[in-house]
Copies of this chain bind each other. A is one copy, B any other.
C-alpha cells in the first residue's frame, strides 16, 4: 500500500475515504422566508445517547450553508434502498428538489420526507469548524424508524447490506471419484430455492390441473400478450420445456388459451386462463410474503439484488419480459 503525503490528490484521497461504508441521508431545513432546503449527505453519524445527539457536516461553499447556519431546526432522513432516485435528486443543485413530494408533519418548519428507514428531527446544539466543512451537532427532539432496508454508499456507489447465514444442512461435502458437489454449489442452491418455492404452489396447481409448463405459459401471458408460438418459445425455451410436443395446443383445447389465427397464430389468455393464473399468482404472493417474513426485509432485499446479478451474469439472451407497456 502506497502512503501518500500531503498535499494529497483529492480524487485518490476521496477514493480511500470511500472504503468506509455509510448509509445515505437527506438533511432538510426551512429558511425564515419559508424556502425549503435539502441536501444529500453521507457524513452523518450518531454522537451521544444522553443527551441524544447526532452530527453531519456540510461544505462551506454549499449554497444551503447560510440557511442551515441560521435555521436551528433540521431533519435527517436515513434513506431506504428504494430511495436511490431521491438521493440523486437531492445531490444535484438547481431544481426544485421538493417538487411532487408528499411531505409529512414535522415538529418544526423543516420538511419531513416519507418512505425512509429512520428519521431524526433535530435542533442545532453546536456548530463547529471542520476545515472546508462545517460540522452540525444536533440534539434529537423526535425520531422514528421503519423496517425498510437502508440504502448504502460504499466505494463510490450505492449498495445493499447482506448479512451472513448459517449452513442449510451440514458443511460436509460429497466426493465421487474426483468430482464433488456440495450444498455450496450455486447451481444446487438455485434449484432447491426454486423447487421449494414452487412446492408451495403445488396444491393450487394440482387443484386446477395445471402442469409446470401450463404455469410458465400462463405467467408469461399474464405479463405480455398476445404472443405468437415462436415468441412464447423464445421466452421459455431456456426452462427446458418442450413446446413442440403440443403443450400450447393442449392449453387451447382445455380452454386456457384463445387462438387468433392470422399471419402468425397469436395466443392470449382465455377468461378461464386468466382466472387460473390469478389464483396461482395469489398463491405465489402468499408464499413470497411468508418467505419475506421469515427471512427479514433486509435479507430479502439483499437476496433479490444478488439474484438479479446472477441472472444478468448467466442470461442466455432472453427477450426482455417487462420491456414494453402491457395492455389487457
Contact = CB atoms under 8 A, between A and B. Distances in A.
A120 B236 CA distance: 51
Nearest to A224: B174
Interface stretch (A62-70, A88-96, A244-252, A286-294): A286-294
Contacts of A57: 45, 47-48, 55
A22 B19 CA distance: 10
A14 B305 CA distance: 27
Contact of A1 (B51, B131, B145): B145
A49 B13 contact: yes
B326 A187 contact: no
Interface in A261-304: 274, 277-278, 281-282, 284-285, 287-288, 290-292, 294-295, 298-300, 302-304
A200 B55 CA distance: 51
In this complex, the interface size class of chain A, counting residues with CB under 8 Å from chain B, is 35 or more
What are the nearest 7 A-B pairs in CB distance? A48-B131, A1-B144, A294-B313, A194-B194, A162-B302, A19-B118, A165-B308
A133 B196 contact: no
7 contacts: A19-B118, A20-B118, A21-B22, A49-B132, A51-B132, A198-B240, A212-B240
* Chain A binding surface SS class: mixed
B20 A219 contact: no
A322 B181 CA distance: 10
A128 B57 CA distance: 14
A143 B135 CA distance: 22
A157 B194 CA distance: 28
A173 B326 CA distance: 9
Contact of A158 (B78, B163, B320, B328): B163
Nearest to A160: B162
Contacts of A299: 306, 309
Interface string A109-121: 0000000011110
A209 interface: no
Contact of A184 (B44, B119, B304): B304
Interface in A38-80: 42-55, 57, 78
B4 A284 contact: no
A133 B48 contact: yes
B17 A118 contact: yes
A290 B186 CA distance: 11
Contacts of A179: 222, 277-278, 281-282, 285
